[in-house]
Amino acid sequence: MSLGRYRSVALVVAWRNLHNFFGNPALLIPSIMFPLFFFVAFAGGLSRVEDLPNFDFGSGYTAFQFSFVLMQASAFGGVFTGFGIARDFESGFGRRMMLAAPRRSALLTGYALSALVRALFIQLLLFGIALGAGMNVDGGAPQLIGMSALGLLVNVTALMWAAGIALRFRSIQAGPLMQIPVFLALFLAPVYVPLDLLEGWVHAVATFNPFTLIVESLRGLVSDEPFHTGAAFLAALALGAVFLAWALRGLRAAEAAGG
């Protein structure tokens, strides 16, 4: 299959998903509302937390929570694209696409492209609303671009996890299986307070959780106090690579089952 053909398959799959996403309020509105809602609830309801002794974050609690919400929105955006893959295969549309595409990995690339565009759209909205609400941003343009890039890597990673599940089960009933591990992985990171203010078993788990590195790095970028940014990108890339392999194996499973 020529590169041109691969690219056109990927682009048309991406176009179709984005067309459905932006054209369907039932998909679009929750994707916007949920991250906003969490941002408001956490930053608004828990702002007193920054008064805790040793809570040391110069840019304020809003920026602190924004970083988590950005990561969460990116991750769940990937999972929701995975839901779409499951629905496509359950309805038989996935089979139609597999019959048409000579190299099936182009389909996965198309889903990934659409997930990235969706994530970028949500990120821009979130940034706009957070800045409008008075969030302090001590980092400059490179830091903000870095935040976006890290978020997009999280998005693709989560998509590949969800895609692997979706392609193996080919049913939207597998939705909780896609969603719950991501939810747990995110919430076993420092959500409300920095890592050193976590206690007990959660502190131990969070210490080894790669999402801890990612969220703390995001916080470092927004506050212009870099925190292992390179390591965070490496961790995100490594996770992405692992789950890409997982998704590709899922694609083989779907092929073997006839879609």
Cα separation, 99 vs 102, whole angstroms: 8
Q: Which of 192, 227, 233, 246 binds another protein (CB under 8 A)?
A: 192
**Burial class, 83, CB count within 10 angstroms (exposed 0-12 / middle 13-18 / buried 19+):** middle
- Binds another protein (CB under 8 A): choice among 5, 7, 24, 30: 30
Q: Which of residues 130-189 bind another protein (CB under 8 A)?
A: 176, 184, 187-188
Among 178, 193, 221, 239, binds another protein (CB under 8 A): 193
Closest CB to another protein among 103 and 203? 203
Residue 33 vs 241, nearer CB to another protein? 33
Q: Is 93 in the site for another protein (CB under 8 A)?
A: no
- Expressed in angstroms, the distance from the first to the final Cα of the chain is 20
Q: What angle is formed at CA 166 by the lines to CA 162 and CA 11, rounded to 5 degrees?
A: 80
Options 98, 203, 246, 248; binder of another protein; rule CB under 8 A: 203
Minimum CB separation of residue 43 from another protein in Å reads 8
Residue 57 and residue 223 in contact, taking contact as beta carbons nearer than 8 Å: yes
Work out how close the CB of 235 gets to another protein at its nearest, in angstroms, rounded to a whole number: 21
Buried-state track 28-39, b at ≥16 Cβ within 10 A, e below 16: eeebeebbbebb
Q: Residue 37, interface with another protein (CB under 8 A)?
A: yes
